[in-house]
Structure 1
């Protein structure tokens, strides 16, 4: 039985090694970028079995990515390959605080050709949870069809579905298309994980209780809204919204990957059979750990590190 199946695009990430503008950077470190890849690493470090649905090119970066996926104890059974298109790339500047500048080279990448045929063999009766973000359906029509296909199959099999909108407006043809597609995907989810600003954009509702109720009405079991230092707001059907406070962080190094870490905490707790309040505590803690480290996933903890951090900082 597989704990979690993820679907997304891992890209070759080249991070500048010196502070300054990206155009002036001369030296870079090579690693991997991708929201779903970050979630996979976090869950694997917490000892969950993870399979990654993706497609890469038959090129050096694709080979590197698959090797690193396997090194992180993430399954590669559902990875497919393109002999025509290349693996996507990303460049990132180095900053001392706040958000780095990024540049993507993913248009017509191998992943944009992922189709239903590549994933038809997945048996969701042997999968506990499917995690989807709003990034893959933005990259191409075939990927969008594949995502809908996966979510329908998971729903029919009774597999838990978590959905993080993870908005990337620049990838969409229009804001209207983004809202329509992502809210459509959210209707398949058991748990929806928007940020406050994401929820406002997607629902047109300003208050957290209202946007949460919007997704409960679509069929979600729970909506957990990320709100930075304010922590998380949990809303379940028939219950009042509950705020679980975040952890104090004195110095933020890099905010990239914080939302992915939050998703890791929610999924981990759900698989462990914990309450939503406990899930939000884990999610807040992992998000806080992640922003204290450079890079997309360096701060994602082991079980022991996570428990120690919560005990010391609760």
Structure 2
């Protein structure tokens, strides 16, 4: 007698996961001889962060039918992700990324080997078995639509199906200009996808490029006028800005970031922020509590090596929030 099928995921995420090699010593990649193997990908960072907080997260993607793809699948499953929609592609390889070890909190230099990767072959057919009616939330970024035309079609499909099913949607632009044919096409596509989302989470520089506006207020209004319910803008160490009408009344505020004694690796800070905001809103917390949690997990993320190693489990998050008291 076969085991009963596990329930469909409550949170859906999709994109590209890559095998990452992080330099064990500082310096240029050309000089580094030894690396640590990890996984990388903005979309998987958020998916892992939400899974660590106890959510049932489904991951839709493609990896190569190779050792790196097997490593990614095993790592994601060990993190608690539901990989029923992760396809092994026999014709395309898993994407790779190599990252320098940076000193003094500087952004580390990263080199990608992802052209024609398995994930770039994502297409509409890959979502045929997704049960949107069972989901609570979909998280999307601007990375999948940058990978290929077919992956872009999938991105539109995922957001449209989620909206039709009444699923809440978060969207982080996660700009990757080098993957796009032109800046104009990037801005047009990502703004169209953001218009289908409920919660839009750009960085300040990203928002300025995408909207043509300078201030956080104007950037937020750009997306609110196009249908978003809330816009949360990452301001880096200064914190973040919220503008929206979650809970019925429109409000705007800025919350400062949390001081960090030593920044080890800045990659993944924005993904940690997204984990905090999304998880808090799904927990039924107020916008102010959600933004504070975003700032908190973003600060945790930059204190360790690796893109997702600093993302807390629920017990650790409870400890951190208990020490903060009520948000001001």
TM-score category, normalised to shorter length = over 0.9
1:59-78 equivalences in 2 (<5 Å): 59-78=66-85
Q: Is the 8 A contact 1:113 1:140 kept in 2?
A: yes
3-state secondary structure, aligned to 2:10? strand
Name which of 236, 252, 270 aligns with 1:241. 252
Describe the SS at the equivalent of 1:296. coil
Note if 1:151 corresponds to 2:159.
yes
Provide, for residues 57-111 of structure 1, a one-character-per-residue CA deviation record: whole Å limited to 9, x for no partner. Answer: 1111011111111111001011112111111000011122211111000000011
- Which residue of the partner structure matches residue 191 of structure 1? 199
Map of 1:222-233 to 2, 5 A cutoff?
222-233=230-241
Q: Which residue of 1 aligns with 2:48?
A: 41
Moved over 6 A (4+): none
Deviation, 1:123, is 1.4
- Give the structure 2 partner of residue 10 of structure 1: 17
- Partners of 2:243 and 2:134 lie apart in 1 by 29
How many residues get paired? 314
Which residue in 2 is equivalent to 1:269?
280
TM-score w.r.t. structure 2 length? Answer: 0.93
Contact kept in structure 2, 1:263 and 1:283, CA below 8 Å: yes
In 2, the alpha carbon distance for the partners of 1:165 and 1:20 equals 30
Residues 3, 271 of structure 1: 8 Å contact kept: no
Extract unaligned runs of 5+ from structure 2. 1-7
Aligned-residue offset at 1:171: 1.0
1:185-230 Cα distance to aligned partner (Å, 9 max, x none): 0011000001111110000000111110000011001001111122
Q: CA RMSD in A?
A: 1.2
d(CA) in 1 for partners of 2:312 and 2:95? 27
Select 2:116's aligned residue among 105, 108, 115: 108
Q: Quote the residue 2:315 is aligned against.
A: 304
TM-score (norm 1): 0.97
